[in-house]
Amino acid sequence: MTPAEKAREARRLIAQDDVATRFAWAPAAVILARQALEGTIDSHYRKFPSTRGIADATWREKLICLPFYFRPDDPEGKALVERVAWCWVALSNAAHERGLTMTPSASDIAKWLETVDAFVAAVEAA
Amino acid sequence: MAHEPSPLFWEIYEQVVADEALDAQAWALVEAAFEGREALERALGGAASAGARAEATARTRPVPPRTWLSKVEVEGFRGIGKKVTIELPPGPGLTVVKGRNGTGKSSVAEALEVALTGECRRWNDRPADWKSGWKNLHHGETRIAAAFQTEGRGVTQISRKVSGEAELEDAAVEVLRGGEKSDLAALGWDEALATHRPILAYGDLGKLMTEGPSKLFDALKGILGLDEIVRVQQRLSDARKAREKIVEEAKGEHKRLVTDLGALDDPRAKRCAEALGGRKWKLEAVADLLVGGTVDERLEKLEQVQRVTLPEAAHVDAVVARVRAAVAEKEALAATEAGRHHETATLLQHALTWHGRAGEAACPVCGEGRLDAAWRARSEAALASMTAATARMRAVDGELEAAVRAGRQLAVPVPGALRGLGELGLSSEVEGAWAQFAAASEARDARGLVAQLEQSYPALSTAHAALMGDVGARLDASERRWAPLLGRLMAWHPKAEAAVAAGDAVKRLKGAEELLKGIDGDMRTKRFAPIAKQAQEIWSKLRQESSVSLANIELAGTATKRRVEIEVAIDGNEVNALALSMFIPRLTHEDSPFRFVVIDDPVQAMDPFKVDGLAQVLRDLAKTRQVIVLTHDTRLPEALLRMQIPATIYEVVRRLESVVEVRLSSDPVRQYLGDARALRYAANTIGMGVVKTVVPALCRSALEAALSRVARRRLLAAGLGHDAIDERMRQAKPTNHIAALALFGDMERGEKILPLLNKWGRSHADTFVLLKSGAHDGFDGDVEALCLATERLAELVERHA
């Protein structure tokens, strides 16, 4: 599955009202969204030989470097990178089962998916 | 006129004069009410209003000099024993003070509040022993101090010191401004502290939100700066109420008067009742009645009747007796000699008079006798005796004539007043009786006269007495009841006149109030719109993953119906987030002199997904404000770090016996360097190429963070305003410019940077050059060494300030 397909699948999960996916839809959608975002970040780094190494680094390192390697001189690009960083933090929080963590709502996930979609499209267009 | 219209007035004025449909009369009153109570009274009195205002010049609300927080010192207060000092960079930015619960970090926020206001709002509804428990048990003396940087005024320091057993209210307050003694009032912060209180205890905010819409309304309305309108509204309504009272009183008495007038069978009362019966009181008609301008004919007629008198019975009897005595005497005398001789004497008198002229001669009557001297002597003697009897007879005649005249005089014709008594509802019996009595004057002789008098008088007397009784009763009843009504009418009349004028004024005032209400609504909407917008933005950031949107916030209603209408359905947890959304605009309003915001424990009860949103809100807020957040929760500092949001983080740690330690845990310089070092250790994975590109850029950001902070502090200390500083910081894009600003306060002195750095040590100048070029061209040297060199240079820069 491509990141775009994962994001689409995540949207389908939150949109449908299916007994079969009761309770499972939320963590599944979060995982799909997170994979879509991370996959896009990685694919962005893998595009160029100079940054290929970053794709193998930790997520902290990947996020530290992102402003320097994604449209660094474009204010819109900068704003998108910020949104991506926040979105990753939120998805990462939601995807980690910590026992006490609450399951995010469909609208929470939908909002994150907006950022994922925007970034997927931006990287594909680059 | 001494009155200087407020900027708010001008703002309203400009809006109002542009309105073609404006009710000029109502506006004149509103305008006067803005001026004051006296002016309003003058305007209501019909006096010309203050007249055309001078040309309205566009005026804006004055922006108070902005103040930043630079230091808080706490000693012997609540959880803090030995002195704790927290230094804060005075300027925009985010500072987080983190610490476990009970470390005393909230004591820092409370201390700041006490320093500023002398009290701590969040204690207000706590038990008394909590309030009195402000003293730290491990420390004898309490001292709270806060230092502020105020644009153009230098450093302001407020300290409060409590010794021994004294209470917090009795603290010795010391205020220093620009190194000189001052006092709290001179700072001019009182109003802003109430309206924009820059200290936010999150839990209390939730409480305010749930305490009811009117509380929230009051808390928010203050920031609109429309309190003056409330005062003006009060003036108008006071003026109206005073007049309504006058009208009410007059109306109450009017109602009673009309009822009482209607109940009185009196033409005057009837006329008054008619004059006052309609919706519009004919006060002039009433006034005419009061001054006796109209005559009551019926009443006058009654009074005329009452004036009619009858001869006393004794008098009538006396006259009758007199006539009778005279008649009797005359009859008795006529039967005597004297009576018979009366005629002879007359004849003799004439004969003597004839003899006196003719002398001795034959008797002209018989012709036989001779009238001589002897006859004369005889006749004169006879005449003398006869004259006495004749005089008596004449006297009796005279008396009878006089007695009859007196009798006729009694029998006067019926007085006009007694005619038409039936129309007055009285018995006309007296009229007939009187006619009978008067008929006596027509009697043929004295006997007839007295008989008529005697016969008719008793009936007349009875009828007259009855009439007088009736008339007297009628007059009495009328006057007795009319008199008090008259008194009431006279007392009421001037009040009624005042009430008519007051009623007119009430109408005008109502128009003015209506107009002002509209103006208030307009101004409220106008001023609240940006606040509501900001609240909505904050809300959507806080709840970034939520579909619950804050559609519409309105300050609605007035007086007891005032409320904040928020179109949103939220649950308990979200109340806090909503409160923060609503109150950040209040804290950060342009009118507030306070550029700092202290938020105590905002993460409490926050949905984990929302902490990211909070971090974003705080970051945005910190672009223009000095944001200080106290938290016991690790999630916020964590979120800031991971989201690369620059922040200064202090950690508060508690030792035994109220010893509280504060240490710098992180700041933007360390954050950038931490990121740089993280990459340096990942060099094997990400490749040296990336490391050498990114690390110098991060190191330069670290240095720039230090330089910006120092530059801002220097410019602020130099007396520059917030806007001017922002403008310079914006212009100072290249590192060189920021460095020149930080080191010399002048962006144009870039050439002096390297000589200064060289003075500090040759390597520092090299580091500076390296960071400038390395960020663009990459870097070939030792990455760890660069991080270390940057750290040292940043420290020196901070110390230089």
Q: pLDDT for B474-503, tens place per residue?
A: 787 777 777 778 888 888 888 998 998 899
Q: pLDDT for B311-333, tens place per residue?
A: 899 999 999 999 999 998 888 87
Say if the Cβ atoms of A68 and B693 lie within 8 Å. yes
Give dist(CA B67, CA B154) in Å, integer: 10
Task: Say whether residue B618 is in contact with chain A using an 8 A CB cutoff.
Answer: no
Indicate the number of domains in chain A: 1
Element (H, E) at B597: strand B596-600
Task: Say whether residue B608 is in contact with chain A using an 8 A CB cutoff.
Answer: yes
Give dist(CA B498, CA B494) in Å, integer: 6
What does DSSP say about strands B84-87 and B67-75: parallel, antiparallel, or unpaired?
Answer: antiparallel
Smallest CA-to-CA distance from B242 within B66, B41, B389, B405 is with B41
Give dist(CA B588, CA B655) in Å, integer: 36
Average pLDDT, chain B: 82
Q: Which of A14, A42, A48, A61 would you mutate first to test chain B, the one with the most B CBs within 10 A? A: A61
Q: What angle do CA A70, A71, A77 make, to 5 degrees?
A: 95
Q: Which of B541, B642, B693, B695 would you mutate first to test chain A, the one with the most A CBs within 10 A? A: B642
Give dist(CA A16, CA B91) in Å, integer: 50
- Residue B693: list chain A partners with CB under 8 A: 68
Give dist(CA B467, CA B426) in Å, integer: 7
Please state the length of chain B.
801
Do B782 and B763 form a contact (C-beta atoms < 8 A)? Answer: no
Say if the Cβ atoms of A68 and B642 lie within 8 Å. no
Q: Is the ipTM of this complex over 0.85?
A: no
pLDDT of B159 over the 50 cut: yes
> What's the mean pLDDT in B32-37?
88
Tokens of B203: 């839990």
pLDDT of B549 over the 80 cut: no
Out of B132-141, B562-571, B678-687, pick the least confident. B562-571
Residue B224: what residue type? Answer: L
pLDDT band at B551 (very low <50, low <70, confident <90, very high): low
Cβ-nearest to A57 among B607, B609, B685: B685
Q: What are the E-state strand segments in B284-391?
A: 361-362, 370-371
- Residue A102: list chain B partners with CB under 8 A: 607-609
pLDDT at position B137, please? 72
- Residue A82: list chain B partners with CB under 8 A: 643
pLDDT at position B706, please? 92
The shortest C-alpha distance from B73 to chain A (Å) reads: 35
Domain ranges of chain B: 313-359+370-403, 668-800
- B673: Cβ contacts below 8 Å, ≥ 6 apart: B698, B699, B702, B787, B790, B791
Say if the Cβ atoms of B687 and A53 lie within 8 Å. yes
Note down the domain range covering A66.
3-125
- Residue B639: list chain A partners with CB under 8 A: 89
Q: Which residue of B has its CA nearest to A46?
A: B686
Higher pLDDT, A8 or B153: A8
The shortest C-alpha distance from B510 to chain A (Å) reads: 51
Out of B299-303, B434-438, B794-798, pick the least confident. B299-303
- Residue B612: list chain A partners with CB under 8 A: 86, 89-90, 93
Do B724 and B712 form a contact (C-beta atoms < 8 A)? Answer: no
Q: Which residue of A has its CA nearest to B676?
A: A64
pLDDT at position A78, please? 87
> What's the mean pLDDT in A14-30?
80
- R_g of chain B computed on alpha carbons: 58
Say if the Cβ atoms of A64 and B679 lie within 8 Å. yes
Cβ-nearest to B694 among A68, A107, A108: A68
Which of A99-108, B332-341, B621-630 has the largest mean confidence? B621-630
Give dist(CA A57, CA A35) in Å, integer: 16
CATH number at residue A9: 1.20.120
Residue written as token pair 């202290």: B598
pLDDT at position B741, please? 92
- Residue B546: list chain A partners with CB under 8 A: 105, 107-108, 111
Say if the Cβ atoms of A53 and B690 lie within 8 Å. yes
> What's the mean pLDDT in B553-582?
68
Smallest CA-to-CA distance from B454 within B580, B337, B352, B315 is with B315
Give dist(CA A25, CA B281) in Å, integer: 81
Task: Say whether residue B644 is in contact with chain A using an 8 A CB cutoff.
Answer: yes
Out of A66-70, B236-240, B261-265, B574-578, pick the least confident. B574-578
pLDDT of B60 over the 60 cut: no
φ, ψ of residue B703 to 5 degrees: the values are: -65, -40
Task: Say whether residue B777 is in contact with chain A using an 8 A CB cutoff.
Answer: no
pLDDT of B648 over the 80 cut: yes
pLDDT at position B63, please? 62
- Residue A111: list chain B partners with CB under 8 A: 544-547
pLDDT at position A54, please? 92
> What's the mean pLDDT in B152-169?
83
